[in-house]
Each structure stands twice: as structure tokens, then as C-alpha cells.
Structure 1
Amino acid sequence: MASPLTDLADHLLAEIFLRLPDPADLARASAACVTFRQISTDRSFLRRFHRLHAPPILGFLWAGGMFYPTLPPHPSAPAAHALNLAADFYFSFIPSHYRWTVPDIRDGRVLLEGDIEKDERPPVFKDLAVCDPLHRRYVLLPPLPHDLAASLEHPFPMVSKARCKAFLVPLGEEEVAAGETTFRVILMANCKTSLAAFVFSSSTGQWEAAASKGWSDLALSEGDMAKMSWIHPFILRRHYAYGCFYWDWMEFGRKKLILLDTRNRKMEFSVADLPPGEWSTAGGIAIVEAGEGRLGVFGFHGKINCDLSYTVARNKGKSPSQWQMEKTISLDSGYRYFIRDATQRYLLFTRIEASSLENPLAGYFSMDFKTFQLQRLYSDPKYFIHRTHTYIDFPPSFLSSSRI
């Protein structure tokens, strides 16, 4: 006999599915019958579902290749445990003489850099790969073409591995809903007199010049440029909101954001101001999407790092000029907190005991910045989150071929 539930109109079933508390519930519902699967895999439905349900925080991946799953009682713990059992986070499925390191993770995909351990002087442009450790698929990226590399003027004024930095571009709502197999990688180079960015698209399989800007064109003084010869965006925290990457620069009393707009084919660098106030450089900040196209900034004021402030832009845009203090959240006393990352819906913190001379690590926490609810993710005192990347959501289907 037909179930009364299947007799409901499709739009009513969609409204019911939107209210399921967990994406795993939607996956189970989609397996019940053809009708349920058609509704739950419809692109317009998935766009709505992704707006309402933040992807789960599944754990942290150490830069050298070790996964630390989210632990109970966090709601993501069962999915994190399953991922840890199924995935290969040692990347043994990629045949290579390299020791792969992890510079970035986005949408469940891992960006890898090839690193030869005994190489005394690492190359300016390292070999790169993008992989899906769950399904053991990967793509080796081609090297940056010689004509693009030659366009850079002194890409590393000091001997440093960080002068050229690669990172993944997040998928958009449409791409997430469609389960897109494409991806983009940005390679950013800090030159003596300018910043330059190149982008690789898996759709074309090629690198292209994306943006270039002189330090003087970013309205920085000669003194700033001298500092930027060794203080550069790649040791600063990277943020992402509304199609723009931001690097917060609060060294030497500056309160600036260096940003890269990726929303158009022709990308662009610019500089914006942080909201006014004495932001704590030790506690860190996080730039998030506050809704309606407005930016939000979380951060600490003062040296104690226990009162978290949330400031929201009054006007839309990538570099707003008017800000309003939205809320101050008092965190547990007796601890100092440090912002380590921000996702689509969550802030990630570490905290230490403020009263102890040794400042032992007291745990890793997520905070839903819609409800401001704090939840423990991990509590191993030997685990150093600053050497890891947050692993969020399961990867979409990758490429039809496992390698290039």
C-alpha cells in the first residue's frame, strides 16, 4: 500500500525535507523511494537546504598528513568517525617521491604541496595536487608556465618557503548544490614591489594571470612597503566572505585588510580598513558573512581575550566604511581564547587556562555565530591546532578520471 506521506504534493514534501535536523537524515530519506530522491537531489531544493544547514565540522588535518576527528559529544562526531575510517589521509594513493604537505582544505578537498625533505633551497613554485582522500582521487596540477613565472619581479626577496602561497577557492552556492566536480586554485606571489595572483581552473586545465598590484597602488607608505618586504600576507590569517579573500594586517599599529576580489574573471587587489577599536592581535579576528551581503567581524578587545565582540557592517560591499557593534559575548572566565578559523557558520577557538604559568591547552571549541552556542570539538593537550586545517563537509563527486 502506498504510504500517506508519498501522497503529499512535491512542494510539501520539500518543505518537510528542509526541516530535517541533519543532512544525514536527508540522505536516508532520499534512499526511501524514487520520488524522495528526485526531490532531495533537485538543484533548487539543494540550494535552499545548504542555506539552512551548515556543513559539519568533521575534524582537523595536520599539515603533515594526520587526521584528528571531531569527538563526542559533538553532533558531528559520528560522521567524523566514519570519515576517519574510510579516508586515506596519508595520501598513499598518490604515487610520488614527494613528502606531501597540506596548505589548504576547501569543500572536503585537500590541496597538497610537494616538499623534498633534503632540498636545502626549495623551489619558488612547488608542485601542487588537489585530492579527495575519501574516494582516493587526485589531480596533479601542471607547473606555472614560464612566461607567467618570468613576469614576476623577485618573487621572494628573502629566502623563505612562504613567498609563494597556494590556496583553494570555495565553491559557490550553485556549484555546491550541483555537486560540481570543478575547482580553482590561486597561487599568490609576494614580490618586492607588488602582489601577484595566478589562478588554475580544472575546467581548462591551465594557469592564467589573475591579478597584480604594486604596493604603492595599495595606498601603502614607503615605510609600510619596507615592512612588507618581510611582513607579508602569507603569515597573516586568511579569511573568505562573499567571494573575497581577506588578510588582516594589524602589525605595527596598522588596522588594515588586504583583499582579493575573485568574483569576476579579472580579479583585483585592494585595501580596506578594519572596524575602529583596539583589536587584540594575540586573540585573532574572523571575518564572516553576516547576511544580506554585509560583512561581520569577530574579535577580542584588550589582553584578557574572554569578551568576544561581534561587529557588523551597516552597508554592503567588500570594503564597508560604517560599522555597528552587534553583540558582546562573555566567554568562560579563567581561560584565554584564540580564534583559529571560521567556516560558513562556525568560529573555531582554542583556549588555555589563564591562571597557570604553563598555560596548558584546555580544549578546542566551535561556536555557532547565529546562536552563539559553544561546543567542545577536541581536547587532546598534545594536539596543536595552529599546524592544522579544518576539515568541513564531505567532498562532492570528483573527476571521472582518478589522475592526470
Structure 2
Amino acid sequence: MHLHDDILGAILERIDSQVSLLRAASTCKRWRSSIADTAFLRRFRSLHAPAVAGDYCNYSPLPPFPNEVVPKTRDPVFFIPSPSLSSSIDGGHFSLDFLPDDGILRRVVDSRGSLLLMYSYWRIGGAIVEDLVVCEPLTRRYERIPSPPELRGATASSCFRQFYLIDGAGTSNFRVLCEHYMDNAMHIVVFNPDDDDGREYSSSSWEEKDISSSIVTPAGLSWARRLGRAAGSWYFYDTDEEDRISNMLILLDGRTGEFSSSMLPANENWDKRSNNFCVADGHDGKPRVCTVDDGSVMVFAMRDGDGQWALEKRLLLEEAIRGLPGYKPWHIKCLNILTRGPGFIILSLAAIVKWTVSVDLETMEVTPGVEDMGEMVYRCELPWPPVLNACVDSRP
């Protein structure tokens, strides 16, 4: 029976996942042609959430491993396949062994969609030399990004810097934003590949970005401490020269590269928690502010009505951890947030003997945690538009 193209398209749009769509594309030339159509891909993306391939973490993990997957890597970065796709995706396709093996141990510093931002630095004399790479593991493509010209030769003590991936503004699918500090002030420069006409990127593609009208503080923004990433955006809080903080939360929108701010509840002592609060994704994909203080975990969410942050959940750790393997009554006195990830945080509860627990931000369930997943878990999606037949195994 021959289906009309419109009917075939309507059927294919109802395929439940991107991986299943890739399998369908390998069925026959007609299906592949229909799926490769730009209009079809646009409709499919509007109906289905992006497919998560898995998560990248820095440092070598210690057991127990998430999903019982033992990662193997030659670099201090490992990949954990998504549980929903682990049977369909060969994790080997997400190895980073295609990056130049020039003795540089790179770490993931950001991810966006199917892209990773890798960073490494070393010192020559007192100056810092940097290696910055944007890569797409599944397609094994990478681009080296030159350092901002104002940072070349700068020392670590004279210029702190962080790098972030944001959406492209033209034909390119990415830009890189650099946050750095000089003369007791925060500066932002943005790298746009579309600004470079040559085959190799040059430092002239970095441009200064003025954020003075986006973030208004009494004395200007002198230092922003990074809290974490949620809903595709990065969050920071403002500190003064004495490391005291206000209740201002600063947001870097990963889609536009623009900055904005919101206010945390004024009745909370945020300065007291300056080293023990973070931002992470909730299970609904919306941001959550998490704090650990006086034996409690508190989760704040932004209200839909007025856009104000409000307490959503509170957990008394002493009650929650009692009975877990390795529990000691004095553990509760040594709280520290180790890792923030999609829908969870990992806490260290012991100063001398490492003992960690994971807190689910939806259910507030506490379970034994993984000790060394790094500060952040970096989510990686399958490329879009899809790379047909790139990651599907050969099973019929």
C-alpha cells in the first residue's frame, strides 16, 4: 500500500524519540527523504523534546557508578549514557579521543545542545597559555578557539576568567562568552565565528560586551560568583570586595548571551550560605536554588505568577540520612555541596572520611552518592538536525 506523502509525514511525526526517528530513516530511501526534509524536521522538533545522549563529568569517578556503567577514559572526563537511550546508543561514539592528543588534559567547562566547550591552561613563566576547543562528540568535529587578545600573557593572579557556550547569532551554531576580571571590574567579551572570514578563527572575532545597563548594583558589578547552570542559562550572585553578598541573582541567558537579574528572598541570610548554595535544574527543567545550612537542605523555585523566588521544599538531613550505609551522627556537622546536576545535588557530609549523599530535588529522597563527578554535570544532546545513521547500532 502506497501512502500519500502527507499521511506518511503525519505518521513519522508521531515517532516517540529522535533515536527511533534515526532507525526509521534507515528503513528505505522514501522514509529517509521524508525525514530529511527541512519542514518535517521543524515540525518534529516542535512536537518532541531534544534527545539527551548522556552526561559528561570531570575527574575520574569512584564507585558506585550511575546506571552501573563503569566509565573508561584516557582524560579526566567521562561520559555517562542516558538510561533511556543506553540500549540504543553506542557510548563509544561519545568518546573524546578524536581531539588532538598533544599532551593537553582538557576538561569540560560548558555544554550546549550537542556541543562541548573544552578548556585547559598551563603556565610559561608567570603567564597563562590557554587551549579552548568547541567540539561535537558524535560527529567528531572540533574547532580551536583563540584566546581573547586582552588575556594573552595575563597571569592567573591578575586576571581570573571563565568561558561559556551560547547560541549562535548567525550561520554558526555557537558563540563563546568569556567573563574576566581586571582592575577590580567584571568584563565580558564574546567570540562570534561569523565575524571571521578566514579558514582559521582569529582573535579579532572577540568583541567587548557592555552589560552595565543589564545589571544595576549600587557600586557596579565587581565580582560575580558562579552558582551553576539551569534551563540552559548560567546563574551567579554578586559579591563585593570583602566577599559579602547581596540577595541579587544574576542570569546569563544561554540563548541570547544577555544578562539580567532577579532578587532572592530578602528574609534569608544568603551571606551566611555564600559557600553552600547553588543552582541546578529541577526535574521539570526549570531552575532551582539549593542551599545547605544548619542541617537542612532548602530548595527555592521561581513562582509563575510574579516571577519571585520562594521556598519550595525543605529537608532535615539528620532524619533523612539516618540508616544509610556509613551513617555517623557527627556527619551532619560537615556539609558541603560537591556536585550539581540535572534534578539532583551531591553533598559531602564528612570532613575526614569521605561520605556523600545524593538529594533528588523533586522527591527530596536521599541516597548514597558518587564521590567524584566534579563540580558540574554537563548534559549532551543528540545533534539537531539529526545525523542520520550516526549513532544507531546495526540491529534490525
Residue 54 of structure 1 and its aligned partner are, at CA, apart by 5.3
Where in structure 2 are the equivalents of 1:2-401 lying within 5 Å?
A: 2=1, 9-10=7-8, 12-17=10-15, 20=16, 22-41=17-36, 42-50=40-48, 52-53=49-50, 55-62=52-59, 65-70=75-80, 74-78=83-87, 82-83=90-91, 85-90=92-97, 93-94=99-100, 96=102, 98-116=104-122, 119-123=124-128, 126-145=130-149, 149=150, 159=157, 163-170=160-167, 182-205=173-196, 207-213=205-211, 218-221=216-219, 228=222, 232-233=223-224, 235-239=225-229, 241=231, 245-249=234-238, 252-260=244-252, 269-278=259-268, 281=274, 282-286=276-280, 296-300=287-291, 302-315=293-306, 320=307, 322-323=308-309, 327-328=312-313, 333-334=320-321, 338=337, 340-341=339-340, 346-352=342-348, 358-362=353-357, 380-381=370-371, 383-386=372-375, 389-395=377-383
Residue 274 of structure 1 and its aligned partner are, at CA, apart by 2.0
Change (3 A) 1:46 1:262: same
Q: Which runs of 5+ in 1 are unaligned?
A: 399-404
Residue 30 of structure 1 and its aligned partner are, at CA, apart by 2.8
CA RMSD between the two structures: 4.7
Residue 78 of structure 1 and its aligned partner are, at CA, apart by 3.8
Change (3 A) 1:15 1:245: same
For 1:254-279, what per-residue CA distance to the aligned partner results, in whole angstroms no more than 9, with x for missing partners?
A: 21123345766xx6555431244536
Using the alignment, how far apart are the partners of 1:163 and 1:53 within structure 2? 34
Aligned letter for 1:328? K
Task: State TM-score, norm by structure 2.
Answer: 0.66
SS in 2 for 1:68: strand
Q: Which runs of 4+ in 1 moved over 6 A?
A: 5-8, 287-291, 373-376
Q: Which runs of 5+ in 2 are unaligned?
A: 61-73, 197-203, 323-334, 387-396
Change (3 A) 1:328 1:198: same
Q: Percent identity?
A: 17
Worse-matched range after superposition: 203-212 or 185-194:
203-212
Using the alignment, how far apart are the partners of 2:110 and 2:321 within structure 1? 33
Task: State TM-score, norm by structure 1.
Answer: 0.65
SS in 2 for 1:286: strand
Using the alignment, how far apart are the partners of 1:256 and 1:196 within structure 2? 18
Does the 8 Å contact 1:59/1:69 carry over to 2? yes
Size of the aligned set, in residue pairs, is 343
Residue 375 of structure 1 and its aligned partner are, at CA, apart by 11
Does the 8 Å contact 1:352/1:359 carry over to 2? yes
Worse-matched range after superposition: 56-65 or 98-107:
56-65
Residue 165 of structure 1 and its aligned partner are, at CA, apart by 1.8
